[in-house]
Structure 1
Amino acid sequence: MKKLTLLILFLSLASVGFSQYTVSRYVNNFNGFQRTNENDPDSALFFLRNLATLEPNSTDELLHNSFAQRFLIFSETKLFASSEFLATLKSQHVTIDSARRKFKEMKQSAYKILAQIKNDPNAELKANAYPILQWVEAQDNLTNSTKLKAIGTEYIRYLNSTTDFYTQRKARYGLLIAKLLYNNNKLRPDADRIIELIYNNLQNHQITEDPTTVTRPAKEKRAWYRYMFAYCNFITSQNLKLTKNQKLERLKLAFSYSPDILDKTFSNAYFYDMIFLFGNEKYSFEEDYLAALGSDEEKFKTIMVMSMNDPSFKQKAKELYKGQANFDDYWLSEFNKKFASAPLFSLKQVDGNQYVLGNNKNQWTLIDFWGTWCSPCRKEHPDLQKLYLDTKDGKMKRLNIITIASEDQEHVVKKYMESLNYSFPVVMSDNQIEKKYNVSSWPSKFLVSPQGKYVVIPFNVDWQKYIEDYIN
């Protein structure tokens, strides 16, 4: 998960507008901590303190998305039960015993770092690590009801002292502590109180502004609040005291707040919370609600909603469809009702021809924003070129492709295309089109229906399959 942490780090730094000098210091200290925290606690703390002096919450990503994983009880057990992990050890000539010793050393180092943070003179660092300290202390006192009760009471006080459950991932650790308390019947009321506080806070802080107009940090917050609220509804739906209708209502809310297309593009915002809370990847609660539904009619309506965000559900919807009209026509009609009209544009292609969005009346249109400076863009261009050739030879005859080179120079783009023998169509950005489509990262893809309604293709999905499923 370190690669994902680094990606999130760079995106976060860019979004808050750090100076180049500050970014350099941030990265140096971030990498320094990652390099030393496994076996040199004193050096690791030195780098961590340096980070804490840069900006408020500068240690957030490192502490809560990387370092805190050291205290996950299930992680080592799951790893050593994994055939893939064991095969990796064997290929590297590492014995299981030596690997277990390494894990033990890493855990001991993490505890030393945490103990020093607890008494650190840097108030910012102490405050940032506080919820981790409470959670780890709860894990270490599972058989001590008195101590566990005190931790639960203190965390309730902590949550009552603020309305910001996002910073320092207060909600995440509160839910982890509540899970530990819940296993003790005497402490269950405290667990319920923590969950209630978090549930109400998440419900009251949902970001309701038009998601296409808010900033990248706001989109990440939106994704986090939605996922965490969905999770709370999912876990509370399992309360045996609920009636069938109450359980279904909670599952419906979990379904409704499951990551939508925009949230999936910013899944980094809740990825680590998902890992901490579940121990694995669970990106949606939609199928949990679907499984609880009774009639085929209810299931069809639900799957239709799901298929708008994830077109792989179209086939399931088709199997339950009982309408008179052709299903493909019905589905496309529902798609066009749900999504907004794509911003129109007319831009000159690098081959000299003019491209006008909307001229391909009977086709879907893939709009791809990229740049020669963008490594992820270049990496996927062989697949994009193949898809373009498929549109020309009839394999994808319902698709039209246009790509937009952003923050680039035409002669550089031409040289790039020629050197790699790419022929997919390219227009040069007018530096306005990105604002119309609210592009904040590259590559960014949008799919436009023949009727001119558009959907965002999430960043971290199999975009080719998404396109095929939408169109076919």
Structure 2
Amino acid sequence: MKTYLTLLISLVVITNGFSQQLQVPKNKTFEITNRTIDTLIGKSDESFTYAFRSLGKNAEGNNVFECKIVKALIKNNKKLLLNTDSLRKTNFMSTGVLFPIAMLNKPFILTLNNSGKVISVTHLQEQLKSALSKWNLNPEIEQQLLNNADGGFTAEIQGLFYQFPDKALATQTTWENKETGTKFKVVANKDGVLKLNTAETRKDGSTNNSKYSFDSKTGLMLSQISKTNFTSKTTDLSSGAERSQKGEIINMKKLNKANTVVKPDSNWINMAVKFSYWSNEMKTGGEYDSLKVKRAIEQLNPIFKNDAYYAVSKLNLIQQTRNDHNYKVYWEALMETPNEYLKDQSSHLHNKQGTALDKGSAADAYAVSKYFYNTPSFTGWVQQSFAQNFIGEHDYPGRKEMDRKSAELIQMFASDKNQIYRQKIRALNLWVKAKADSKNTALQLETATAFNKMSDQEMKEGNGGRYALLMYNLLLDVSKKGAADSLLNSAITKLQKYTADSLNKERYESQNMLAHAYYLKFLSLAKTDSAKAIGYLAKAAEYSPKNNKEKAYASFYDRVFLKSKESYRDDYIDQLLNAGNEQEALKLLAVQINSSPETLTDMQKRFETTFPNRSFKTFFTEHIISTWQNAPEFTVKNINGKENSLSDFKDKWLVLDFWGTWCGPCKQELPDVNRFYTELTEGKHGDSNFLSVACYDTEEKVKDFLALNKYTIPVAMSDNKIQKDYKITGYPSKIIISPDGRMLNVQFGKDWKRILKKFHEIYASK
């Protein structure tokens, strides 16, 4: 539970009838709802309802209450995390949901003196420990919850009651709380209701305005609304610039009659928490244990097989126990899971879409699509998986049946009344029909016209650039070069516009296809107008990706269809060298090496063949490394307590490896990373260094993970700044830093060890 700064005000008293003490009759029941809205920090909205029953006075004359949390509602960034009225919709992404769930409808005892000060909160820790003992939480999380249930929760409860002043005050007079400096003004005392206001400007510049009303007989607060306005300074991660943001915290409290009925399903709660990330119930050494997961599923399936949360959580757990057998278990469980349970689970729907088509029917796949057709995940499935069924280059058992089902499914999509389906499938469907009747010249021309007239929305939603370029080849096959050139020019115009649009999320996919489109223009003119053709090849090189950001993931699939290259820079370099334009060729050679360092060996051979009397090392240091950005300074502590700074690795090559124990791909490659470090300590990788940085992790988790897997790599804990300074956008990420402190980000999946070896080899050469 998030605890906000609560003003512990002293209640103003007036002489005409206000009790000046808590005087709550024994057995009186009531509820207080406390809601806090923070417009800046996480844009959170939290509401907790507490039910009270007065147990009267104890021997010391203090007020004793039985208290229970009977309702909680937590939102973050408008996303619902917890609503205790609908527990099965709980989102366990935050540990903030655990405390209210653990304490839901569990009584504890409050003792307050007659002035309204909380003297003690008892039985809370015992109740909480009892609930947590069933969940097998990560020890750090469990201790955090127990700590928060101590002083933090006492302050939360104190905010529901108020300490009364020693003196009574008349209406329209003011009173100042000496502890906080807050001034209160009594504005009314009528019909047993006392009202007072506060208004203040604090030393930090924030302002607070509050209104309160109290029951003059019992001393209980009837309502409160408090607004605190403040300015917070934040740092822009992309530019590093500091900027100010205005925020507001609104706190509202209200007393109601006790009427909330709570019947939490403890069996479901225990299952749900055990299946969450925060529990170690199905882990060994911090990793999911396939045997424990299997046993849990066998035990819980009969009880919760019709529960949506359980079904999805089961799929998540099976996925995270990585072994060959569990892939089969996952697919079987996925097919057994009703589609409606997977709503908002785009990853599972993406997987089930293909499995339903493969193992079931077109109708089955179509039924799955209804739950995520308007998401990027569905678009990805259509363009990266489904579309490959129409390439027809590979034969396999069941190929004819898959062709039949694919043809049936694409027509279901194309004829759907919802235009989102039609937009996402139209370009693919046009190409599929034209390809199936490739000798039908009239059809090819008709289809080309359809692409020329296609709206930007359909082109973007349906990856029309890919299919327009494929249609270009079909038109050439029927000797319709004029129509083909017209379609190619139209495609280039559209792709040029999409590439230039900085708001277009797929701009780099468009850019990669644009490079290929210009290459097709080059090929079409190479034999008839070489000068003009070279100009188009220059364009193809210009739009080829220059860095990892421009190497869009989806472009890999476009290249599968178009049989295109990632870069046309090589081709243009050859043309420049043949024309004797060495200076421009060398510039592009440097760009190519920086863009694709895995091609360095080939680029070196080309350089040394073309310029046998020049030093490639000099070219490498002066025209390649010199273009790299300076590596940001850092100081981070490793898990042994030693500080590591960039200066510690001066004059040597350094590999920075950004990863986390929570990252599947990171863990998958770590055996190879650890092997590299072992070889490095044995002197097999030259005069180089290696440092891994664990991000968004805890030292305890990292130590346990390394010990479990017997990894020896040096690990520093991120200070939450280093990954931002190095602009890390995905994990794992490898940064290679030169001896003079310049850095190169190596694209994920590329052989960074081979690249480092080649860098070191060139740098160390004479």
TM-score (norm 2): 0.50
Q: Write out aligned runs for 1:35-184 (5 A).
A: 35-38=355-358, 39-52=360-373, 55-73=374-392, 75-76=393-394, 79=395, 99=396, 102-158=398-454, 161-162=455-456, 165-184=459-478
- Measured after TM superposition, the shift of residue 398 of structure 1 is 2.6
Q: Which amino acid aligns with 1:35?
A: T
The 3 A distance-change label for structure 1 pair 134 and 409 is same
- Measured after TM superposition, the shift of residue 376 of structure 1 is 1.8
Aligned partner (choices 711, 729, 732) of residue 440 of structure 1: 729
- C-alpha distance in structure 1 between counterparts of 2:699 and 2:552, whole Å: 33
- Structure 2 residue runs of 5 or longer lacking an equivalent are 1-318, 320-340, 762-766
For the residue of structure 1 that corresponds to 2:685, the secondary structure is: coil
Aligned partner (choices 554, 578, 583) of residue 294 of structure 1: 578
Residues 402-439 of structure 1, C-alpha deviations (whole Å, 9 max, x = no match): 11101110011122223333332211111122222221
- Measured after TM superposition, the shift of residue 459 of structure 1 is 0.3
Match of 2:640 in 1: 351
For the residue of structure 1 that corresponds to 2:741, the secondary structure is: coil
Match of 1:396 in 2: 685
Aligned partner (choices 550, 560, 568) of residue 285 of structure 1: 568
**Are residues 1:235 and 2:235 paired?**
no
Aligned partner (choices 25, 30, 45) of residue 345 of structure 2: 25
**When you count strand as a share of all residues, which structure comes out higher?**
2
Residues 371-426 of structure 1, C-alpha deviations (whole Å, 9 max, x = no match): 11222212222322232233333332331211110111001112222333333221
For the residue of structure 2 that corresponds to 1:50, the secondary structure is: coil
Q: Which moved more, 1:245-254 or 1:126-135?
A: 245-254
Q: Which amino acid aligns with 1:261?
A: N
Q: Across the two proteins, how many residue pairs are aligned to each other?
A: 414
Residues 17-72 of structure 1, C-alpha deviations (whole Å, 9 max, x = no match): xxxx87753234323321222451111111122222xx455521111111111111
For the residue of structure 1 that corresponds to 2:548, the secondary structure is: helix
Q: Which moved more, 1:362-371 or 1:332-341?
A: 332-341
- C-alpha distance in structure 2 between counterparts of 1:349 and 1:57, whole Å: 39
CA contact (8 A) 1:261 1:457 kept: no
The 3 A distance-change label for structure 1 pair 344 and 283 is same
Q: Which amino acid aligns with 2:531?
A: N
CA contact (8 A) 2:659 2:666 kept: yes
- C-alpha distance in structure 2 between counterparts of 1:37 and 1:179, whole Å: 30
Q: Write out aligned runs for 1:422-461 (5 A).
A: 422-461=711-750
Q: Write out aligned runs for 1:329-344 (5 A).
A: 329-344=618-633
Match of 1:12 in 2: none
For the residue of structure 1 that corresponds to 2:567, the secondary structure is: coil
Q: Which moved more, 1:187-196 or 1:299-308?
A: 299-308
The 3 A distance-change label for structure 1 pair 386 and 25 is closer
- Measured after TM superposition, the shift of residue 285 of structure 1 is 2.3
- C-alpha distance in structure 1 between counterparts of 2:652 and 2:614, whole Å: 21
For the residue of structure 2 that corresponds to 1:442, the secondary structure is: coil
For the residue of structure 2 that corresponds to 1:51, the secondary structure is: coil
For the residue of structure 2 that corresponds to 1:268, the secondary structure is: coil
The 3 A distance-change label for structure 1 pair 448 and 164 is farther
Q: Which amino acid aligns with 1:133?
A: N
**Are residues 1:273 and 2:558 paired?**
yes
**Are residues 1:189 and 2:482 paired?**
yes
**When you count helix as a share of all residues, which structure comes out higher?**
1
CA contact (8 A) 1:403 1:425 kept: yes
Residues 112-139 of structure 1, C-alpha deviations (whole Å, 9 max, x = no match): 1122222212221122111111111211
CA contact (8 A) 2:423 2:458 kept: no
Q: Write out aligned runs for 1:217-256 (5 A).
A: 218=505, 221-240=506-525, 242-256=528-542
For the residue of structure 2 that corresponds to 1:262, the secondary structure is: coil
Q: Percent identity?
A: 26
Match of 2:546 in 1: 260
- C-alpha distance in structure 2 between counterparts of 1:462 and 1:189, whole Å: 44
The 3 A distance-change label for structure 1 pair 195 and 435 is same
Residues 142-192 of structure 1, C-alpha deviations (whole Å, 9 max, x = no match): 23222322222122111xx3277443211011111222122233x433322
Where relative contact order (Cα < 8 A, 6+ residues apart) is larger, the structure is: 1
Q: Write out aligned runs for 1:367-406 (5 A).
A: 367-406=656-695
Larger Cα Rg: Structure 1 or Structure 2? 2
- Structure 1 residue runs of 5 or longer lacking an equivalent are 1-5, 7-20, 80-98
Match of 2:593 in 1: 307
CA contact (8 A) 1:296 1:320 kept: no
CA contact (8 A) 2:415 2:422 kept: yes
The 3 A distance-change label for structure 1 pair 27 and 302 is closer
Q: Which amino acid aligns with 1:37?
A: L
- Measured after TM superposition, the shift of residue 275 of structure 1 is 0.7
Q: Which amino acid aligns with 1:284?
A: S
Q: Which moved more, 1:453-462 or 1:331-340?
A: 331-340
The 3 A distance-change label for structure 1 pair 122 and 467 is same
Match of 2:66 in 1: none
Q: Which moved more, 1:131-140 or 1:200-209?
A: 200-209
Calculate the aligned-residue CA RMSD, in Å. 2.8
Residues 280-320 of structure 1, C-alpha deviations (whole Å, 9 max, x = no match): x7433233334434167735554343223323335325514
The 3 A distance-change label for structure 1 pair 114 and 206 is closer
Match of 1:96 in 2: none
- C-alpha distance in structure 2 between counterparts of 1:420 and 1:58, whole Å: 34
CA contact (8 A) 1:57 1:128 kept: no
Q: Which amino acid aligns with 1:275?
A: V
CA contact (8 A) 2:499 2:508 kept: no
- C-alpha distance in structure 1 between counterparts of 2:728 and 2:404, whole Å: 44
